[in-house]
Chains A and B, each alone.
Chain A
């Protein structure tokens, strides 16, 4: 019982781990979780439809302005059965083929929805018994998903693209139905560089990133290159597991890193580093980690997959709300999940944090959770893979993006209700002030001065 619950309510259990169904920490949480999902599905389905109808933001805005939001909803419902679609999605095709699932994760805050869905009962609500298993590294998570020890896994969003194309592993069709988190990373520098905040002074520095195929790698390289530092020749960038980033920073073995949280905040907490810049200031709303499953799992167990995806969407929606963040920090802090001091996770999730320079900063959107896998994100990732020589030759950007990002669920759902899935589900965005047009990836790529010549 929390101190704020009514102490004279006879139905309220005294110890935690108590609600009427026994799966939530409190009755209020149970009610919140129970009430939310239908609304969530409705929103997800409706926004998918709107995105399909209006691939460009401008068109959608013009349409909405012209006839008003409620009329627009009515008009869209006229020729697209939103209610039916939501129902189809909410009910799935039937009972899950397999109830006991294993989902792998890496203990970083990016995995928040995947992790919290276990202690907070989101999986159980879909009739699934999911074990979330902490995994030792990205390569291991890849191998364990490929050899079916895991049914689905937390991955870095460039990984399903790389796996599908067979870069760095055998090609295997992979799907990424949901982005886990947006933003939520930072460039952390050693405290001894307090006075070297201008990246132009960073020549010769050593940086760490968690994995070659990661947003961290592309964002760090992008940031450095925009400041005239060639990431391949002027600095050293090495792949280092996140906990070792903090230890290496302490040991003076690296000068900084662009890594996942909680390690940025942990470096501050331990007094060895400061947060130079949040990645949201490089690209506001960039994707980071993803929820991924093999195409085989998706096609052989559609009901299980639908149930799992619904649990993730629910959890992501719950995590999106700022008022839930403290509670989430508490749920994922124990050794079974992230194994971190709760205060560190709280700072990351609530966005009120110590920056390592003596200031308390408030940035509520430091990390956010939004599942929609925009295909333009994939195209951007592919341009950067090509920019830094990870992939070579002709790349059919749109086709790969379509295959991997959201290839299955939304498209299938739309077909089920008699619609033709759209060709692109893209939005334009800008990275460090430079607008990205997903329809012209080659032009974008050619516009960079610093890149590996290929």
Chain B
């Protein structure tokens, strides 16, 4: 029964995909020339004007271009033209760095807040205010004060990735069952050991869920940040191709951003499963 469900779902997925691609292809097909033009004039015009081609690329255009990118992902033609592999590498590097910094700050701090109801209440208003601020709102401030665009991008990742981790860690730590802590107390386990051997394993699934939300946010933020500061990265690639009005390349970038985001998410989902235990 289960296997047949999997198979049926797979078939349905393929079908949805095929319908989508088919509809896309049909809706972007070239129509007949829009109006008669002198050959001299037509030579100066693009395909949209001469062949009545849709401004939206079809799936075949995107596929061909994607193949072109995948064939040589690591070329480097100078500061403004690098292969997609290099651009993604820059973005992933920035996200990792900003995210790691956020982990380093958020986990201990979240632990502290979770353990102490006093601190939790004291910090709550600040966290609530900081949490909903859009990454792009931080960007000008960061650029202006840090005075370095790549550090600013990392800072923006850091400041946006920190809150879900902090809140989830605090929540996970605060909601560890009182009985377990009481048992540990009765057995005279020292506070540090109690935190590491009782609280941490119990709160781990919640903490990792927070980390999973954060990496998603960090990956969302990097594209916006790189579009703003330019230079390198997948966000810059999107901006650069948008400048050229190349919708084909923008679609390819969107596709790749989605795939990488999914990979990040899956890695942390696996990790969550590893630390979850049945009660």
In the bound complex, do residue B77 and residue A360 qualify as a contact, i.e. CB atoms below 8 Å apart?
A: no
* Residues A221-259 near B (CB distance < 8 A): 242-243, 246-247, 250
Interface string of B44-67 (1 = CB under 8 A from A): 111011100001000000000000
In the bound complex, do residue A147 and residue B148 qualify as a contact, i.e. CB atoms below 8 Å apart?
A: yes
* Residues B233-279 near A (CB distance < 8 A): 236, 239-246
Q: Separation in Å of the A162 CB from the closest CB of chain B?
A: 17
In the bound complex, do residue B77 and residue A269 qualify as a contact, i.e. CB atoms below 8 Å apart?
A: no
In the bound complex, do residue B228 and residue A136 qualify as a contact, i.e. CB atoms below 8 Å apart?
A: yes
Residues in A whose Cβ lies below 8 Å from that of B45 = 268-269, 271, 354
| Interface size range of chain B in the complex | 35 or more
In the bound complex, do residue A149 and residue B239 qualify as a contact, i.e. CB atoms below 8 Å apart?
A: no
Q: Is B230 located at the chain interface by the 8 A CB criterion?
A: yes
Residues in B whose Cβ lies below 8 Å from that of A358 = 35, 37-38, 41
Q: Separation in Å of the B116 CB from the closest CB of chain A?
A: 40
Residues in B whose Cβ lies below 8 Å from that of A107 = 243
* Residues B138-189 near A (CB distance < 8 A): 140, 143-144, 147-149
Q: Knowing A136-B227, A243-B245, A269-B49 are in contact, say whether A250-B55 is a contact too (CB < 8 A).
A: yes
Residues in B whose Cβ lies below 8 Å from that of A343 = 43-44
Residues in B whose Cβ lies below 8 Å from that of A144 = 143, 149
Q: Is A284 located at the chain interface by the 8 A CB criterion?
A: no
Residues in A whose Cβ lies below 8 Å from that of B46 = 269-271, 341, 344
Q: Is B79 located at the chain interface by the 8 A CB criterion?
A: yes
In the bound complex, do residue A339 and residue B243 qualify as a contact, i.e. CB atoms below 8 Å apart?
A: yes
In the bound complex, do residue B245 and residue A270 qualify as a contact, i.e. CB atoms below 8 Å apart?
A: yes
Residues in A whose Cβ lies below 8 Å from that of B43 = 343
| Interface size range of chain A in the complex | 35 or more
Residues in A whose Cβ lies below 8 Å from that of B230 = 133-136, 140
In the bound complex, do residue A335 and residue B49 qualify as a contact, i.e. CB atoms below 8 Å apart?
A: no
> How far is B37's CA from A354's CA once the two chains are assembled, in angstroms?
11
> How far is B43's CA from A336's CA once the two chains are assembled, in angstroms?
25
* Residues A328-347 near B (CB distance < 8 A): 334-337, 339-341, 343-344, 347
> How far is B238's CA from A317's CA once the two chains are assembled, in angstroms?
34
Residues of chain A whose beta carbon lies under 8 Å from any beta carbon of chain B: 107, 131-137, 140, 143-144, 147-149, 242-243, 246-247, 250, 266, 268-272, 334-337, 339-341, 343-344, 347, 353-354, 358-360
16 contacting pairs across A/B (C-beta < 8 A): A107-B243, A133-B79, A133-B80, A133-B231, A135-B230, A136-B228, A136-B239, A144-B149, A147-B148, A247-B245, A269-B46, A271-B48, A271-B49, A336-B78, A347-B44, A354-B44
